Structure 1
Amino acid sequence: MSQIRSNAAGVIDTGKAASPPLKAVDTPLQAALRRNAPGYLFLLPWFVGFFGLTLGPAIASLYLSLTDYNLLQSPNFVGLANYARIATADDKFATSLHVTLVYVVLSVPLKLVFALLVALLLNRGIRGLPVYRAIFYLPSLLGASVAISILWRQLFDGDGVVNILLWNLFGIEGPSWISNPDTSLYTLVVLAIWQFGSPMIIFLAGLRQIPVDLYEAANLDGASKIRIFYKITLPLLTPVIFFNAVVQTIDAFKAFTPAYIISSGTGGPIDSTLFYTLYLYQEAFGYFRMGYAAALAWILVVIIALFTAFSFLTSRYWVHYDD
């Protein structure tokens, strides 16, 4: 039993060692931050890019869509006036939206069909497959460039290569395809179909994932190639078709460079190639109506979001996964 002693200062000493001070206990949030600190440090460049280059400008654009802003003066808050003008007093908005929808409806299905046909041909085990794959993928890398758009304008001009071939081979005098409002949009559709390389590569990867046993069993049962395609290949390829359809449709809604170059930035002739993004560009950098252009941009975001949501809601009825 320890003895109680009193020192010179009058402090009672019990003979026991002093207890160490209690350490502060981290909260669950502090513990998680301490544990994940290295991961957040490596993600810091992405966070800077996301908040500084994506989320921040998006919020600023949303605010500018509610203002009258011309880049030279301070934004003047006008509420929903820009959106009201779009809905009631802007004929070009309806025209550009109609042109864009026609372009999307024509170019996306035709591009996917052509890409699937080429992928089926390449999936037959031909020699030099990597070379053909690279050659067919090349247009997807170059198709949206300014150089290809200029080349396309030269091909379909009144005295371009297409009309020269029509005259020399068939004796047909073709029109100036890009100057004719009845045909100008279809030249852009053809350009979009020519850029089939990206969905083709994805289709080819999907075809490689289909089990060979299914084809062998179908051949033993005497199924024709057309029946095998519709009963085996197409159903098992629906997830890939769905992915390609969503991605290509979003890209088609955002198409800008071909229409800008081929029409010299006017959307002509008679607004036949006035894509939505081209009209947005004219409002922003042609007339310096930045607030109005921001409102147009947010309407495009809503249109793409509605299409994507509709695609995912309807996919349950036609997209077949492994389960």
Structure 2
Amino acid sequence: MKRKKLGEAKGYLYIFPWIIGFLMFQLIPLVNSFRYSLTDIKLGGEYQFIGIENYIRMFTEDVDLFNSMWVTIKYIIMVVPAKLIFALIVAMILSMKIKGIRIFRTMYYLPSILGGSVAISALWRVMFMKSGIINNLIGTDINWLGDPKYALFTIGLIDIWQFGSSMVLFFAALKQVPRDLYEAAQIDGAGKVKVFFKVTLPLISPVMLFNIVMQTINALQNYTSAYVVTGGGPLKSTNIMALKIYEDAFVKSDLGYASAESWLLFIFLLCLSGFIFFTSKYWVFYSDGGGK
């Protein structure tokens, strides 16, 4: 009995740093943000309780809010599928037995480490300028950063380029697919395309679900590329929600309203994640018989 209690005490001791970090950097800020959303607090000033006025203001006065939400939705629809498709294709290529393949695996993962930095975003801005290297390479004069038709796509490419984490998970999932299933499918006369859709995709669908949820969360949290590359322009065509929340909080010094916006984004994320999990029962296959 004493040994069991000692083991439990050691377990709590090991997770104590995580508990402190969770309380200080996640739970307490979350509770405070909700408390601030019910006030008119300004940056560095006093605050007054105003109830749900910030939430009413969001839906009755703030025209830019609906634009930012729509831009965010378009960003998710554009980035998440493209990122996962690209990651899966590369993972399938890297799962082949090719000489020096480990070097390529490392190279393809590097963008996920570097891509979210301010330096990369600044470099991206220079590359996609009207006189930048991209236009010089393809021989055009497209205004990637100044035309609303291309601006969101341009910053989305940075996120798509950071496909390394999804690629690693797909690569691990592909390695777990039993070889005998491929052999059985080939004996039955199934082609490569049919094998992919009938064998490979169903067996890696749990990893696909995880990647969809995580990359959707990452896309909703994106701020750096929109701020550094386009600054939310042109004509607010790249003014995604994370950037709008930052501007309302630290440029307009309206922390209470920004906190209310962050809770709106949080609720939107919960609903979107819930929808993804609800639909997963129709397309996710589990080896224990669950799912589809």
Question: Which TM-score band (shorter chain)?
Answer: over 0.9
Post-superposition offset of 1:311? 1.4
C-alpha change, 1:310 and 1:33, in structure 2 (3 Å) is: farther
Unaligned runs of 5+ in 2: none
1:296 equivalent to 2:253? Answer: no
Q: What does residue 249 of structure 2 align with?
A: 284
Alignment check: 8 A CA contact 2:43 2:250 kept: no
Among candidates 36, 39, 59, match of residue 87 of structure 1: 59
The number of residue pairs the alignment matches comes to: 286
Deviation readout 1:174-233 (Å, 9 max, x if unpaired): 222111111111111222221111111111110000000001111122211111111111
Post-superposition offset of 1:37? 3.1
Among candidates 118, 129, 136, match of residue 90 of structure 2: 118
**C-alpha separation in 1, matches of 2:10 and 2:180:** 47
Secondary structure, aligned partner of 1:124? coil
**Quick one: which amino acid aligns to residue 227 of structure 1?**
K
1:219 equivalent to 2:186? Answer: yes
**C-alpha separation in 2, matches of 1:315 and 1:97:** 25
**Quick one: which amino acid aligns to residue 190 of structure 1?**
L
Among candidates 162, 173, 186, match of residue 195 of structure 1: 162
4+ residue segments displaced more than 6 Å: 32-35
Post-superposition offset of 1:33? 7.3
Alignment check: 8 A CA contact 1:166 1:174 kept: no
Alignment check: 8 A CA contact 1:65 1:291 kept: yes
**Quick one: which amino acid aligns to residue 37 of structure 1?**
A
C-alpha change, 1:240 and 1:35, in structure 2 (3 Å) is: closer
CA RMSD of aligned residues (A): 1.6
**C-alpha separation in 2, matches of 1:198 and 1:35:** 35
Post-superposition offset of 1:72? 2.7
**Quick one: which amino acid aligns to residue 87 of structure 1?**
F
Q: What does residue 59 of structure 1 align with?
A: 31
Among candidates 237, 242, 252, match of residue 204 of structure 2: 237
Query: Equivalent residues in 2 for 1:138-177 (5 A)?
Result: 138-167=110-139, 173-177=140-144
Among candidates 8, 14, 38, match of residue 10 of structure 2: 38
**Quick one: which amino acid aligns to residue 58 of structure 2?**
I
Post-superposition offset of 1:166? 2.3
**Quick one: which amino acid aligns to residue 237 of structure 2?**
S
Deviation readout 1:116-174 (Å, 9 max, x if unpaired): 1111111121122221111000111111111110111111101000111122xxxxx32
Deviation readout 1:272-306 (Å, 9 max, x if unpaired): 11010000000000010000000011111111111
Alignment check: 8 A CA contact 1:139 1:194 kept: yes
TM-score (norm 1): 0.85
**C-alpha separation in 1, matches of 2:99 and 2:87:** 19
Q: What does residue 213 of structure 2 align with?
A: 246
Secondary structure, aligned partner of 1:179? coil
Secondary structure, aligned partner of 2:15? helix
**Quick one: which amino acid aligns to residue 261 of structure 1?**
V
Deviation readout 1:32-67 (Å, 9 max, x if unpaired): 978733332333222222222211111111100000
Post-superposition offset of 1:310? 1.4
**Quick one: which amino acid aligns to residue 256 of structure 1?**
Y
**C-alpha separation in 2, matches of 1:181 and 1:305:** 29
Bigger Cα displacement from structure 2, 67-76 vs 208-217:
67-76
**Quick one: which amino acid aligns to residue 255 of structure 1?**
N
